[in-house]
Amino acid sequence: MSQTVIIVGASRGIGASLAREYAARGATLGLLARSTGALETLALELRQNHGVRVEIAALDVADREAVAPVMNSLMDRLGTVDVVIANAGVLGWRKAGDGNVAEDRRIIETNLLGAIGVIDVAVARFKAQKHGQVVGISSISAYRGIPGSGAYSASKAALTNYLEALRLELSGKGIGVTIVHPGFVKTDIGPNMEKYPFAAEPEKVAREIANGVARGKASLIVPGFPWRLIMPALKLLPDSVMKKIF
């Protein structure tokens, strides 16, 4: 039976790759992002290539007043929704002490509070229909902060913690929670991502995410190789080694 999947932050990167992966699996899709132009182009591609239904809506998750009405309107159009993927996020580089705390606020507003806003609407809908799966895209930086990207790392660590608490809160209610921790992915979220260690293609990451979500996994590290081997050691690395890596 075909699923209905909503992807927030679907216009590029992991989100767009997830849309293509789910379309190839025959899913009905609801796609949201700030750029409707990019969404329209992607939706046309998916309809033509896979014959699936695709609905789109413009949403900036940092606009707190817009999240619930836009999400609810899209879900009303789609009917029963099986999976909501909170993927919208921004990356930022800043060294503490330069006075630009506004940049940190922007990152946290989008990556943490924006994601929580999306998830809250999804959970309300899932409670009403008595089933569903929330998927939150966190990061390996939730395990160990990346120098020069403190706000990003903090936003992802907080999102992971929030989702862990949510999973316990929803236990026994028919609602699953999957936390995804991608390693470095070759997308345009940040400059020169391909130069980072073990940078992966977004298509591979999307495929592993979709497989893990289908299995109802509570937590995913993607791509599994080599990051499942590396992650336990991240917290043990000396600061001097972390500085050289990043």
Residue 196 is a catalytic residue: no
User: Among 161, 240, 244, 230, which residue's Cα sits nearest to residue 198?
Assistant: 230
pLDDT band at 94, cuts 50/70/90?
confident
| For residue 37, pLDDT beyond 60 | yes
**Side by side, which strands form the sheet with 132-137?**
54-58, 28-33, 4-8, 83-86, 132-137, 175-182, 219-222
Q: Exposed (0-12), middle (13-18) or buried (19+): which is 205, by Cβ within 10 Å?
A: buried
Residue 145, pLDDT score: 80
pLDDT band with cut points at 50, 70 and 90 for residue 187:
confident
Which stretch of 62-71, 84-93, 115-124, 186-195 has the lowest confidence by average pLDDT? Answer: 186-195
Res. 229 pLDDT band, cuts 50 70 90: confident
Confidence tier at 22 by pLDDT (50, 70, 90):
very high
As a residue count, the chain comes to: 246
Average pLDDT over residues 232-241: 71
The helix/strand/coil state of 198 is coil
Alpha carbons 181 and 160: distance in angstroms, whole number: 9
- For 216-220, what is the mean pLDDT? 96
Q: What is the pLDDT of residue 239?
A: 72
The CATH class given to the 4-245 domain equals alpha beta
The whole-angstrom separation of Cα 7 and Cα 19 is 7
CA 84 vs CA 42, 91, 103, 161, 197: distances in Å: 18, 22, 27, 18, 29
The reply to whether the predicted model has a pTM over 0.85 is: yes
| Tokens linked to 138 | 């966190």
Residue 238, pLDDT above cutoff 80: no
> Do 141 and 103 contact (CB within 8 A), yes or no?
no
Tokens standing for residue 223: 């791509």
Tokens linked to 11? 């216009």
Answer whether residue 1 shows pLDDT above 70: no
Catalytic residue among 22, 152, 162, 196: 152
